[in-house]
Structure 1
Amino acid sequence: MSDAYDVVRPRTEQTTSTGDAGFRLDINGLRAWAVLAVVLYHFNVPGFSGGFIGVDVFFVISGYLMTGIVVNGLEGARGRRFSLIEFFLARARRILPALIAVCTALLLLGWWTLPAIDYKTLAAGIGYSLLFISNVKFWLGTNYFDADAHEKWLLHTWSLSVEWQFYVLLPFMLLAIWKFFPRRAAITAFNLAGFALSLAACVLWTRRDPSLAFFLLPTRAWEMFAGGLVFLLPLSAAWSGARRKPLEWLGLALICTAMFSFNASTVWPGWRAMIPVAGAALVLMAARTSSRFTALPLLQWIGTRSYSLYLWHWPVVVALEYQKLADNVTAVGVGIVLTFVLGHLSYHGIENLTRRRLVALRPAVGGAALVGAVLAVAGVGTLIRMHAGYPARWPDAIEIVSQEQMNRNPRQNECMPTTGATSPSCVYGGSKIRAVLLGDSHAEAVASAIAEAMPKDSGIMSWTYADCPTIGAGTMHQTSLYVRRGYHCDQFQGWTAKKVMSLPADIPLIVVNRSSYYVFGVNGKPEEQAHPRIYFDREYDTPDATLQTAYAHRLTENACALASHHTVYLVRPLPEMNTDVPKTARQMTLRRQPDASISLDDYRRRHALVWAAQDAARDQCGVKILDPLPYLCAGGRCQGIRNGRPIYYDTNHLSEYGNRFLVPMFAKVFNNRTAELASER
């Protein structure tokens, strides 16, 4: 997406079929296809559910162009020899000015609109982006297709980082090969090997770690090597226009198939990425510079501005998401228009202007100017991070709301595994274990409140696991339990069952889960309800009656199995908000007062299935019910903010402040237990 000037050469040169000279209208038009796909996908325009494949098309184009530049230089094409310094300066002149402009604009905008936490995060993202390592950062903490990815202002720079890393490595590798084997055949063999190894790694790691496969160069390089192979193997060079036309049509058909049929739930990249990659390669191979599908004036206009369009569109998308306007048709339309206006202005006022001025300077001076600009912007970002986002910019009321997102169980990462099949068995409170906590992340979020509710010197053992409902922990037999993204949940439940059986009978069990989520998805997101998180005998596309019945039966059965050996306390589902409560501070910066609450009627509709299953367990086997509603809800609504402070650190997990409202509820467990022991004596 960053090499339009490598495509757009002076129109006076003759166009060749292999693309190593001339103004390639087909490449410029293909870039327009790619950027339109990405932009329309990110703005959630219906019909472009697979528009993310536009990035794969960009990678193929980049591989084609970069390989051509290096190989032509090595071969002395057009009387010039390859220079590493010139190569890197050309890439820097092409990529950095517009990227620096976007980063600067975001820093200025953020000063006036972002709470301190968001501003500090933005500043860090700018540093990663300008160093071209943002793909590594996002791999470590982001799923590209998750909802919260739309809150990261510079998420789209991951692809620039991948490209830059490829640009850095490719010339060194080709220079080394050329030194010992100065033939195009040797470079072609290297490209073939790189393509095969990277593709194999991509397919393998997409199954094991989709985020790694998505973001990192080793599993993406094959797409750029594919473009390089098109340059190195000009199979259609001797073909007539009539024979090239079917190649182009097939290529565009493959791109459209991927664009219109894939979606955010598609496992990506993996082998499926071969479809748009093959499509882009075929269009490049066809080299039809007069095609109606790529040479139209509008497509050429978009293609020349594609880099700026790509850079500026994503901040507009994030801005809509921040202000809860991403589903507003009018706002989306304005956002798309604004993207094209910004892209056009950036193309003329930044890309072209800086390129001309930098080319006119001596290489050392031009390079120093770019480095200085990067250091200046990165330095400002460093200051923002050092000062924690300058919270004094906002009234205390805004920062109190925003900062609550950090007020979560400080032992969460230590005590709640996300992989593996066992628990660290963390103890909260004193060393004398008086109860065991079972559940998922909702349980871990209230662990400290339970500890506070216990008598002095008493403690609670925590056996929790992220994205893993307590369904198989009451039985010793192997359970057929599967949870999407809940790695090893069934093994963990088997481990828990054995541990529960080894506990003294007088140790009560407290079970807390985000139970409704596993069947009905995220609260307030009807479109996600078509993808249940849990299944038993087979996967379900929707939460149909069969799945609901099976799930309710498992909940009751498991509770009763646990109750056959221990006193069991089932906590009713915690209220889940329709918005990320601390992040409502973003609307407060614009003097809006967002509603962070749900009605009791909405709560009851969402959790009716789980309530019925818990009631059945109470009636059948005497489990005890703990109801958080009297402590978290009043006046027919469950509020996400109490006393001007969120009680959640996101949409559904109680913060360390919020869980204190449940201390009286959990105290009943130990008050009842004390009374029971006294009556036995």
Structure 2
Amino acid sequence: MRSAGSFRHDINGLRAWAVVAVVLYHFGISGFSGGFVGVDVFFVISGYLMTGIILGAIAAPSGFSFWNFYLARARRILPALLVLCAVLLALGWFFLLPSDYQRLGKHVWGSVLFTSNRMFMKEAGYFDVASHDKWLLHTWSLSVEWQFYLLFPLVLVAAWRWLGGRRWMLLLLGALALASLAYCVALAARNPSQAFYFFPTRAWELLAGGIVFLIQARWQPGALRAIWIERAGMALIIGSLLLITPDMAWPGLLSLIPVSGAALVLLARRDDAWLTANGAAQWLGTRSYSIYLWHWPVVVSLAYLELAGQPQAIAVGLLVTLILGHLSYHWVEQPSGRRLGMLRPVTATAVVVVAMMTVMGPAKVVRKADFEHRLPEAVQRVDEERDNRNPRLDECDAKTECQYGGPNTRAIVLGDSHAQATVNAIVASLSSADDGVLFIGTSGCPIIFGAQLDTPKQDICQKILGRIRERQASLLPGTPVIVINRASYYLFGGLRGEADETPNKPKLYFTEPADKPSEALLAQYRQHYVATACELAANHPLYLVRPTPEMGVRVPEAMGRAMLLKRERKLSVSREAYRQRNAFVSQVQDAAHQQCGAHVLDPAPYLCDDQQCAASRHGRPMYYDDDHLSEFGNRLLVPMFQPIFVEQVLGQIRTGSPHKHEQSAL
């Protein structure tokens, strides 16, 4: 059996398959829907190699040195990573919007400290569109590996000493791997994003490589059997990257397929297998780490330049990835590894720490500083609109009931985040500073009695709807109720290309969850919506607001990036597309008007012209993201709401004084 340090063409070729799978998947090449399994293959390889290195050092006369082990890993991983981070910080100075640049600084910090997996776990799911403009998203896997490097030597050294060498090592790693896999399956069922990024749910894949190494120490297949084992392994890997899709539960039991495939290829130990030993695979394998590092920023660059999906741009991106990977391998990986290897451990450690601080220091500054004069003032103003939203949004979303404006409640606003994005326009419609409105609701919760949500908001939404229904008859009777929802979204999902949304996938149901808006679901929606409106209208003047036009892209970011790239970008949605998107909801609202006397308020005349619903006015974004009006944009609706209160004043002259709301939290 060869030493752990001897070159293995099968491992190098397996690296090539892993990196090609990941790269082709991220570039959106058709047919590689499961290319993300390449990371799972990398994990198995890493676990295999680390087990050999650690056990080999433990058994050697000089013994295992934690310092030398961690320094060797740092020499291998950090130089190319630090160069990548430095390049991104430098380019970001010229081409990234302020909030994007600050986020890059945060991600550089987490990537260099190998905590980025936990950072991204808190931000968005790996497969969510919102994650695809994060320049260092791919470093999550490096963080998982580094966390494995920190803990695994401790486990093996302790087991060697306490269990008497390798005797019980295989049983120990098997038990740990099974525990990690069980935790992975359980966590993926309730929180797939956390399971994807979390080290304890990924540890079993690395441990699988260690198990293969220990098995090989006791048994190796004959030449003919090795051929079939290797072929079976490659079939599992190729089948995974061709047939698995992001829509499937991942990670989980399906992860066993590529992990088992990688394990079988390693177990076969065939250095002359055509699929892994050919020249192309060897060239790619030796450069796999640098190719992996550089490919994702190239992918994000295409999206940033709005070239993603264009065949010629993708071809250029792939070529650039190979060139950058090759240059990084020859100019960074190889020379840094050699030179650091020639230094004494203390000196090499000092150099590594200084290099880390050289990158982390500026990243820390970028993360906190605004750099007000870094970009043109017009770009700064556009980007600032991202934060021009309801200042009490987070507070009132959590409380689910808030009084806006003065204590005299002139209206009750029921709704979701679109209501919260509009509520201050209603306050601005009032004539006195003592007047206010009561908001009840939370984001992602439509005001339809009997609706169930196929989202994490189900429980809180049911509580809100139940209490509204219970209280509405006695809650300030006669006070106008204004209902504002992103109504079409709950039936027809998000717009195509919208971050983290599946078009035509309903968010609500009444009997059982639906994959598409069937005729039965639409009929139930109509019935429950009209019934809800009639129930509310029995005790209050009821106003139903038609949906706000949705842009499908985050407006301030898209406008700011276009300005940075010297492009003309006028964002809008056609009036006809807006009409088609909301035709069914408009019909239902009209039915509520006919049956219950509900008033329908249409924002389109205030936000659109005859042809287009624009995303900006006078060069200023009207939205703080892709579908929520900013505090600037919602003020355009003040004339729409003012007549409500003119009529209310006339009614109060006849019947009495306005209500003063006594706060009672839902």
TM bucket, shorter chain: over 0.9
Which digits, 9 at most, give the CA deviation of each residue in 1:319-360, with x for residues without a partner? 111121112221111111111111111111111111111111
SS at match of 1:617: helix
1:49 counterpart residue number: 33
Partner SS, residue 245 of structure 2? coil
For the Cα contact (< 8 Å) 2:494–2:504, is it kept in 1?
A: no
1:664: how far off?
A: 2.4
Superposition map of 1:280-679 within 5 A: 280-388=262-370, 390-417=371-398, 423-454=399-430, 455-472=432-449, 479=450, 481-488=452-459, 489-525=461-497, 528-584=502-558, 585-679=560-654
* RMSD (Å), alpha carbons: 2.1
Letter in 2 for 1:506: G
SS of alignment partner, residue 410 of structure 2: strand
Q: Secondary structure at the match of 2:589?
A: helix
For residues 102 and 561 of structure 1, do their structure 2 counterparts lie closer, same or farther at Cα, with a shift above 3 Å needed? Answer: same
Q: Encode CA deviations 1:593-634: one digit per residue, 9 max, x unaligned.
A: 212111111111111111111111111111111111122112
C-alpha separation between the residues in 2 aligned to 1:178 and 1:106? 43
Return the offset for 1:66.
Answer: 1.2
Is 1:69 aligned with 2:69? no
Shift in Å at residue 493 of structure 1?
2.9
Does structure 1 retain, via aligned residues, the 8 Å contact 2:496–2:502?
no
2:182 is matched with: 200
Q: Is the 8 A contact 1:49 1:262 kept in 2?
A: yes
Q: Is the CA contact 1:407–1:655 (under 8 Å) kept in the aligned structure 2?
A: yes
1:630 to 1:283, Cα distance in 2 relative to 1, 3 A: same
The answer as to whether partners of 1:236 and 1:286 remain within 8 angstroms in 2 is no
Letter in 2 for 1:466: S
Give the structure 2 partner of residue 130 of structure 1.
Answer: 112
In 1, the alpha carbon distance for the partners of 2:86 and 2:565 equals 21
Equivalence map 1:116-265=2 (5 Å): 116-234=98-216, 237-265=219-247
Distance 1:528 1:402 in 2: 27
Give the aligned partner of residue 5 of structure 1.
none
SS of residue in 1 equivalent to 2:126: coil
Amino acid at match of 1:599: S
Q: 8 Å contact 2:94–2:375 — kept in the other structure?
A: no
Instruction: Return the offset for 1:80.
Output: 5.0
Q: Equivalent residue for 2:660?
A: none
Select which of 100, 103, 108 maps to 2:90: 108
Q: 1:674 to 1:101 in 2, by over 3 A?
A: same
Q: CA deviation at 1:651?
A: 0.7
Alignment check: 8 A CA contact 1:529 1:543 kept: no
- 1:560 Cα offset (Å): 2.5
With over 3 angstroms needed to count, the CA separation of the structure-2 counterparts of 1:112 and 1:564, relative to structure 1, is same
In 2, Cα distance between equivalents of 1:228 and 1:511: 59
User: 3-state DSSP class of the match of 1:365?
Assistant: helix
C-alpha contact (below 8 Å) 2:551/2:627 kept by paired residues: yes
Alignment partner of 2:274: what SS? coil
Residue 680 (structure 1) shift = 4.6
Distance in 1 of aligned mates of 2:198 and 2:616: 40
For residues 215 and 643 of structure 1, the distance between their equivalents in structure 2, rounded to whole angstroms, comes to: 43
Q: C-alpha deviations, 1:453-475, integer Å up to 9, x for none?
A: 23432332222222222222xxx
CA 1:215/1:627 → structure 2, altered by over 3 Å: closer, same or farther?
A: same
Q: Is the 8 A contact 2:33 2:243 kept in 1?
A: yes
SS in 1 for 2:631: coil
Query: How far is the alpha carbon of 1:300 from its aligned partner?
Result: 1.3
Q: Secondary structure of 1:433's match?
A: strand
Match for 1:575: what amino acid?
Answer: P
**Structure 1's 252 and 470: CA in aligned 2 closer, same or farther, altered over 3 A?**
farther
Instruction: Tell me, in whole angstroms, the C-alpha distance in 2 between the residues paired with 1:359 and 1:348.
Output: 16
Q: Where does the alignment leave 5 or more consecutive residues of structure 2 unmatched?
A: 657-666
1:247, distance to aligned residue in structure 2 (A): 2.2
Deviates more, 1:457-466 or 1:301-310: 457-466
| TM-fit CA distance, 1:173 | 2.4
Partner of 2:65: 83
Unaligned stretches of 5+ residues in structure 1: 1-14, 418-422, 473-478
Contact 1:468 1:483 in 2 (8 A): no
Give the CA deviation at 1:40. 1.0
- Aligned equivalents of 1:482, 1:385: Cα separation in 2: 37
Deviations 1:60-92 (A, max 9, x none): 11111112211221122xx55221111011100
**Distance in 2 of aligned mates of 1:416 and 1:115:** 28
8 Å contact from structure 2 (residues 454, 513) kept in 1: no
**Amino acid in structure 2 at the alignment position of 1:300:** Q
Contact 1:467 1:483 in 2 (8 A): no
Question: In structure 2, do the counterparts of structure 1 residues 515 and 371 end up closer, same or farther at CA, with 3 Å as the change threshold?
Answer: same
3-state SS, counterpart of residue 141 of structure 1: coil
* Contact 1:520–1:532 under 8 Å retained in 2: yes
Q: Structure 1, residues 340-393: CA drift from partner, whole Å, max 9, x if none? A: 1111111111111111111111121122111111101111122223421x2312
The one-letter code of the counterpart of 2:403 is V
Q: 1:286-313: CA deviations, max 9, x gaps? A: 2222112211211111111111111101
- Residues 28 and 304 in structure 1, CA contact (< 8 A), matched pair in contact too: yes
Change (3 A) 1:95 1:237: same
Work out whether 1:268 is the aligned partner of 2:268. no
Aligned-pair CA distance for 1:491? 4.7
In the alignment, the residues of structure 2 paired with residue 153 and residue 577 of structure 1 have an alpha-carbon distance, to the nearest angstrom, of: 24
| Alignment correspondent of 1:99 | 81
Aligned partners of 1:139, 1:294: CA distance in 2, in Å? 33
The 3 A distance-change label for structure 1 pair 51 and 493 is farther
Moved more, 377-386 or 640-649: 377-386
| Secondary structure, aligned partner of 1:435 | strand
- Normalising by structure 1, what TM-score? 0.91
Number of residue pairs matched by the alignment: 651
Q: Is the 8 A contact 1:236 1:244 kept in 2?
A: no
Tell which deviates more after alignment, 549-558 or 140-149: 549-558
Does the C-alpha gap of structure 1 residues 70 and 663 become closer, same or farther in structure 2, counting only changes over 3 Å? same
Which residue matches 1:4? Answer: none
Q: 1:664–1:530: structure 2 CA closer, same or farther, 3 Å change rule?
A: closer
- Bigger mean CA offset, 298-307 vs 522-531: 522-531
